[in-house]
A and B are shown apart, each in its own frame.
Chain A
Amino acid sequence: MADEPIPTPSPEERILPAGTRAEERVSVASNWQLVWWRFRKHRLALISAVVLVVFYIVVLFPDFFAVLDPEETNERLTFIPIQMIHLFRDGKLDPWVPGIAGKRNPVTLRMEWTADETLQNRVRFFVHGYRYKILGLIPSDLHLIGADSSKKDSTLFLLGTDRLGRDQWSRLMFGTRTSMVVGLVAVALSVVLGVLLGGVSGYFGGVVDVFIQRLIELLQSLPTIPIWLAMTAALPQDWRPEQVFFAITIILAFIGWTTLGREVRGRFLSLREEDFVLAAELAGCSRLRIITRHMAPAFMSHIIAASTLAIPVMIINETTLSFLGLGIRPPAISWGVLLQEAQNIQTIALAPWLLTPGLVVIVAVLAFNLVGDGLRDAADPYGH
């Protein structure tokens, strides 16, 4: 808090020593301000938060970041390796990628691609490519990066292509959208269920509490992965991708809410005993006002921290389910669906770049965990 820019002190304040002034500022700061001050000190968490913001920008505008239509197949451009971006050309900042030359292997009859450094394909920025609608509303054809359209045969496969010649980078952008949204929606559902049932459990106590606690215990003692698989296997095969998407999020939230439910109940029970709740009660506040005005702000930061830590778990679960073929189904694209392409060792040996979505999963989960840890430490401003 010492690095906080201190406002110009008024004449009376100047008499007081600096330490007292800072302390005074802390004592009048709102809960959220305190959380923010503490969170800011966590450098890794702050960096991770920026990473997550970038991820969510991609979630909002996947088309803008994509180079090609993710569904566009090209049977003559299958399994092209990553085209490395070179930043400098002739000593000037002018990004380019080496061209690719294909040769058919006479034995395996497979196309073998090599990078041709003499062919320098310039990378263009803010180019016009395939048409799409921004947020499904505004038609556009602008893309952040693209191949040099003035030159024939100029390609830009930042992360190579898959077995159908689809651009892995563009598919990754769309996979990011699905997987990040699944995580968010599943956690949102868990929070609603957890806060509702956990709150009811903590508020009413008695039989209701016992029943909900037993239910939570029962759900938590189920073997999660096999049960999830059985549930997703039960989804009708002819469902549309959106239907499957929502079903998967509900299935993930089905067990996910229990942890949050417990957390909320525990907070509720301990807060009920606090002096400020008693004070509010004595002042004649209604039950509803006590809960919404006095108790909710006190445990809100904890809920947010706990939910942030729940998102990466959901993302890993979704990715795993889809990878096993029982989650999000193609033609929908998620990180798990992309990794399904890299399911056996032959394919990985042939096209290791198909593993790149997995690295993105690791980065995303890492970022969520770090932000969550930072928030959890910051959520308790009076704790230390």
Chain B
Amino acid sequence: MLRIILQRLILLPILLILFSIIVFWLIQAPPGDFLTSYLATVASSGSSIDDAQVEAMKVQFGLDQPFHIQYLRWMENLLHGNLGLSLEYQLPNSQLIGERLLLTVILALLSFLFTWAIAIPAGIYSALHKNSILDYFFTIVNYFGVATPNFMLALILMWLAFSKFGVSITNLFSSNFIDAPWSWARVVDLAKHIWLPMIILGIAGTARLTRIMRANLLDELHKPYVVAARAKGLPEWKLIFRYPVRLALNPLISTIGWYLPQLFSGSLIVATVMNLPNIGPLLLHALTQQDMYLAGSILLIYCFLTIIGTLISDILLAWLDPRIRMEGA
């Protein structure tokens, strides 16, 4: 067990270094840099900056250095916990990202819990009552859930809420709480707002996991050990929950590996549509403004979250399934 965790933890920095190179290369790729777009903005507003100033800014931001030097400087800063300075906001990136990162993680985790809370009971019910009305209902929801892009669902729900109830559901806080320090009242306010993005983000996954749970349980239900347990006179619900459900959950654990990362990056879309104070819209803005260090930091955070998601699923699987645990030993 410890061995597997250690193995994965050793892999973590290697992956992060590989990802950081890819990310840095990506944010470097656009022709021109932040200065060119900054100068264009300045020029369009009528004022101008002389060449000496431009040169000074280039040196200040390190834009005159070759690729690998810029990369190493960036990495050095990262290792010191310094995410660099946002070229556009002229603020430390860590300050810009700080709370937004927390909200990103909270939203993804809540969606994850929502998914499991719905998918497991729904999957069990569907498997036990195959071809019942509710089973068909879940099947239909599944097809539509998978076919509807996240942002489309957000748009439709926002429109319904607006046209039917006259409420505009955007942001994660009421206006008077947006910049307020954390307090109990602010947490309550967050809870009042976060449920809808949580559902929107989780619905597609819920639909898929319900199907997986249903299929897994159906495979288990007809195995001889179930018949044997039933023959011994075990009460039906006790039997179902004690044996086949536990076995059917195993493959579901392995879905965490792709589902949690998918929630992290999927929250970007919901956050953009619903204007949530999340790292998604910040990334989008940084990318269009070529604010490269900010974009790079956020991309690296997404990579990190993705790796963590896979790590959690690997460890959980090893903990639950002795076959996987023994393989590593």
- Residues on A close to B: CB < 8 A? 218, 221-227, 229-231, 233-236, 312, 316, 319-320, 323-326, 339, 342-343, 345, 348-349, 352, 355, 358, 361-362, 365-366, 369-370
Asked whether, in the complex, the Cβ of A366 is within 8 Å of the Cβ of B162, the reply is no
Asked whether, in the complex, the Cβ of B143 is within 8 Å of the Cβ of A358, the reply is no
A352 nearest CB across to chain B (Å): 6
User: In whole angstroms, what is the CA distance A325 to B310 when docked?
Assistant: 30
Sample 17 A-B pairs with CB under 8 A, ordered by A number. Answer: A218-B15, A222-B303, A227-B22, A227-B26, A229-B268, A230-B287, A234-B26, A236-B31, A312-B147, A319-B149, A324-B269, A326-B284, A345-B170, A355-B155, A358-B155, A362-B147, A365-B148
> What A residues does B29 contact at CB under 8 A?
231, 234
B18 nearest CB across to chain A (Å): 7
User: In whole angstroms, what is the CA distance A348 to B162 when docked?
Assistant: 9
Asked whether, in the complex, the Cβ of A362 is within 8 Å of the Cβ of B283, the reply is no
Interface of B is mostly: helix
Query: Which of B31, B158, B306 interacts with A222 by CB under 8 Å?
Result: B306
Q: Is B152 an interface residue (CB 8 A)?
A: yes
> What B residues does A362 contact at CB under 8 A?
144, 147-148, 152
Asked whether, in the complex, the Cβ of A226 is within 8 Å of the Cβ of B283, the reply is yes
Asked whether, in the complex, the Cβ of B15 is within 8 Å of the Cβ of A366, the reply is no
Mask: chain B, 74-91; 1 = CB below 8 Å from A; 0 = not: 000000000000000000
Q: Is B302 an interface residue (CB 8 A)?
A: yes
Interface of A is mostly: helix
Segment at the A interface, from B45-53, B258-266, B321-329: B258-266
Q: How large is the interface on B (under 10, 10 to 19, 20 to 34, 35 or more residues)?
A: 35 or more
User: In whole angstroms, what is the CA distance A22 to B252 when docked?
Assistant: 41
Asked whether, in the complex, the Cβ of B298 is within 8 Å of the Cβ of A226, the reply is yes
Give A368's nearest chain B residue, CB to CB.
Answer: B147
Asked whether, in the complex, the Cβ of B269 is within 8 Å of the Cβ of A225, the reply is yes
User: In whole angstroms, what is the CA distance A348 to B18 when docked?
Assistant: 43
Near A by CB (< 8 A), chain B positions 278-293 give 283-284, 287-288
User: In whole angstroms, what is the CA distance A362 to B29 when docked?
Assistant: 34
Asked whether, in the complex, the Cβ of A226 is within 8 Å of the Cβ of B163, the reply is no
Asked whether, in the complex, the Cβ of A221 is within 8 Å of the Cβ of B310, the reply is yes
Asked whether, in the complex, the Cβ of B265 is within 8 Å of the Cβ of A361, the reply is no
User: In whole angstroms, what is the CA distance A362 to B153 when docked?
Assistant: 10
Give B274's nearest chain A residue, CB to CB.
Answer: A345
Asked whether, in the complex, the Cβ of B268 is within 8 Å of the Cβ of A226, the reply is yes
Mask: chain B, 142-167; 1 = CB below 8 Å from A; 0 = not: 01101111111001101100110000
Near A by CB (< 8 A), chain B positions 205-257 give none
A170 nearest CB across to chain B (Å): 21
Asked whether, in the complex, the Cβ of B147 is within 8 Å of the Cβ of A345, the reply is no
User: In whole angstroms, what is the CA distance A109 to B156 when docked?
Assistant: 27
B256 nearest CB across to chain A (Å): 14
Asked whether, in the complex, the Cβ of A366 is within 8 Å of the Cβ of B26, the reply is no
B213 nearest CB across to chain A (Å): 18
B299 nearest CB across to chain A (Å): 5
> What A residues does B272 contact at CB under 8 A?
324
Asked whether, in the complex, the Cβ of A342 is within 8 Å of the Cβ of B155, the reply is yes
Q: Is B107 an interface residue (CB 8 A)?
A: no
Give B305's nearest chain A residue, CB to CB.
Answer: A223
B89 nearest CB across to chain A (Å): 18
Near A by CB (< 8 A), chain B positions 32-55 give none
Asked whether, in the complex, the Cβ of A233 is within 8 Å of the Cβ of B287, the reply is yes
Mask: chain B, 16-33; 1 = CB below 8 Å from A; 0 = not: 001100110011011100
Asked whether, in the complex, the Cβ of A320 is within 8 Å of the Cβ of B162, the reply is no
> What B residues does A312 contact at CB under 8 A?
147
> What B residues does A369 contact at CB under 8 A?
143, 146-147
Asked whether, in the complex, the Cβ of A221 is within 8 Å of the Cβ of B158, the reply is no
B111 nearest CB across to chain A (Å): 15
Known: A343-B273, A365-B147. A223 touches B168 (CB 8 A): no
Asked whether, in the complex, the Cβ of A352 is within 8 Å of the Cβ of B303, the reply is no
> What B residues does A223 contact at CB under 8 A?
261, 264-265, 299, 302-303, 305-306
Q: Is B307 an interface residue (CB 8 A)?
A: yes
Asked whether, in the complex, the Cβ of A320 is within 8 Å of the Cβ of B150, the reply is yes
A206 nearest CB across to chain B (Å): 22
Asked whether, in the complex, the Cβ of B156 is within 8 Å of the Cβ of A355, the reply is yes
Q: Is B295 an interface residue (CB 8 A)?
A: yes
Query: Which of A221, A226, A325, A352 interacts with B307 by CB under 8 Å?
Result: A221
Give the residue among A218, A223, A339, A366 with the most B Cβ atoms within 10 A. Answer: A223
B298 nearest CB across to chain A (Å): 7
Query: Which of B19, B269, B305 interacts with A320 by CB under 8 Å?
Result: B269
Known: A223-B302, A358-B156; 18 extra A-B contacts, CB below 8 A, are A222-B19, A222-B22, A223-B261, A224-B265, A226-B265, A227-B22, A227-B26, A229-B287, A230-B26, A233-B287, A233-B295, A326-B287, A339-B151, A348-B162, A349-B159, A358-B152, A362-B147, A365-B147
User: In whole angstroms, what is the CA distance A218 to B168 when docked?
Assistant: 41
> What B residues does A366 contact at CB under 8 A?
143-144, 147
B50 nearest CB across to chain A (Å): 26
> What B residues does A225 contact at CB under 8 A?
265-266, 268-269
Give the residue among A230, A326, A339, A345 with the most B Cβ atoms within 10 A. Answer: A230
Known: A319-B149, A348-B162, A362-B152. A226 touches B288 (CB 8 A): no
Asked whether, in the complex, the Cβ of A339 is within 8 Å of the Cβ of B152, the reply is yes
> What A residues does B302 contact at CB under 8 A?
223, 226-227
> What B residues does A355 contact at CB under 8 A?
152, 155-156, 159
